[in-house]
Amino acid sequence: MSNRRGPRQVARFTEAEVNELILKLQALLPHSTSTSCNTTKIAASKVLRETCNYIKNLHKEVDDLSERLSELLANGEITNADADFIRRLLKQ
């Protein structure tokens, strides 16, 4: 029997599976007030809200760093060693 779902079928998750995924997501947040104990019951909506905010902040940080790097490269304020280091980081 195939595990493929038809176009109208939706994946169903149990409440326990959703809770486990929320706990995993919560553990990925760096400074979350809710990460002090994995057994603490925190509203899923709060974890999702914190996660969305964290991702937005990461996107902004990437944009800011990209802009700063472009400025440094354009102004020649970066050494060849620094440029090589940055290239290695970007390849990771």
Collapse the DSSP code of 79 into the 3-class scheme (helix H, G, I; strand E, B; otherwise coil) and give the result: coil
pLDDT digits (tens, 9 = 90+) for 35-82: 455 556 779 999 999 999 999 999 999 999 888 888 887 888 788 888
CA distances from 51 to 15, 31, 37, 54, 55 (A): 20, 11, 17, 5, 6
The answer to the question of residue 46 being in a domain is yes
The answer to the question of residue 56 being in a domain is yes
CATH number reported for the structural domain that contains residue 31 in this entry: 4.10.280
Q: Between 28 and 7, whose confidence is greater?
A: 28
Q: What's the number of domains the chain is made of? A: 1
Domain limits at 38?
A: 15-91
The answer to the question of residue 60 being in a domain is yes
Q: Which two tokens stand for residue 68?
A: 């700063």
The answer to the question of residue 19 being in a domain is yes
Task: Measure the CA–CA gap between 51 and 64, rounded to whole angstroms.
Answer: 20
Determine phi and psi for 34, rounding to 5 degrees: -100, 5
The answer to the question of residue 7 being in a domain is no
The answer to the question of residue 2 being in a domain is no
Q: Between 3 and 31, whose confidence is greater?
A: 31
Provide the pLDDT for residue 20. Answer: 94
Task: Measure the CA–CA gap between 47 and 43, rounded to whole angstroms.
Answer: 7
